[in-house]
Amino acid sequence: MVRFQAATGNQGRIDAGRTLCRRYPPALGRVSEDVAWAPLTKVKKQELLRAFFGYCLDHEWTKTNPAKSLSKVTVDDVPTDYFRPDEFAKIIAACDTYPTNSEHPEIRRQKVKALALLMRWSGLRAGDAIKLERSKLKENKLLLKMEKTGTPVSVLIPPDVADLLHALPNGNPRYFFWSGEGTADSAYSDWHRTFEKVFAEYTRRASIGFLARVTKNAPA
């Protein structure tokens, strides 16, 4: 619609709005029923549609707001689970042994462990932690703004975790983990794949421990 308006001026915007008003209503039901979106995504789409048709109604491009009749989407909030201290210790141990194709495997494993500990003690989301700048850590005090909310945050992390972070080598001295090249999404995807390997190693080690206990306690 924006491109159409740029080419045709204000009248084009009006014509485009009227056209969308005519074409959208028959397909609105799909937002709540047929489209294979996650429930929360459907809620956001409904909000956008209601706002759009409210705008059209204000400009007399339509007589009603058909999006108001959309059925309510049920979103089941699943509480985020957490790792017990013993489980987290095993995850950190897995960081030291997970398989990696890095040219410098020990450095890579050190950075993976540091990232896991940073998220554990700072509460940062993965995306925020990956892009953390060195200037944000003063001794063991993090001075931050959460990316999604912009809320300023001051967090104390354990001195040994801070020391590990300060000692991390990185190609871009501005950041602890990010190269600063490419997009933040690509960096997140790269680390996501790395942690998939870490958790695979964690599962493997846990399975070995379980089998060892079963074998030890098996009847003769």
Q: What share of the chain is helix, strand, coil (3-state, %, to 5)?
A: 60, 5, 35
Spatial separation of the C-alpha atoms in residues 220 and 218, rounded to whole Å: 6
| For range 45-52, the mean pLDDT | 82
- 13-32 pLDDT, tens per residue? 445 555 555 555 555 555 55
Whether 55 shows a pLDDT value over 70: the answer reads yes
- 99-109 pLDDT, tens per residue? 999 899 999 99
Domain spans, the chain: 2-69, 85-217
Q: How many CA atoms lie within 13 A of 20 on its CB side?
A: 19
Which position has the higher pLDDT, 47 or 6? 47
Over the chain, what is the mean pLDDT?
78
- Residues near 155 by beta carbon (within 8 Å), at least 6 away in sequence: 121, 122, 123, 141, 142, 144
- 162-182 pLDDT, tens per residue? 999 999 999 899 999 999 888
Whether 7 shows a pLDDT value over 50: the answer reads no
Three-state DSSP class for residue 219: coil
CATH top-level class for 85-217?
mainly alpha
Q: Which amino acid is at 183?
A: T
Q: What is the pLDDT of residue 130?
A: 92
- 114-125 pLDDT, tens per residue? 999 999 999 888
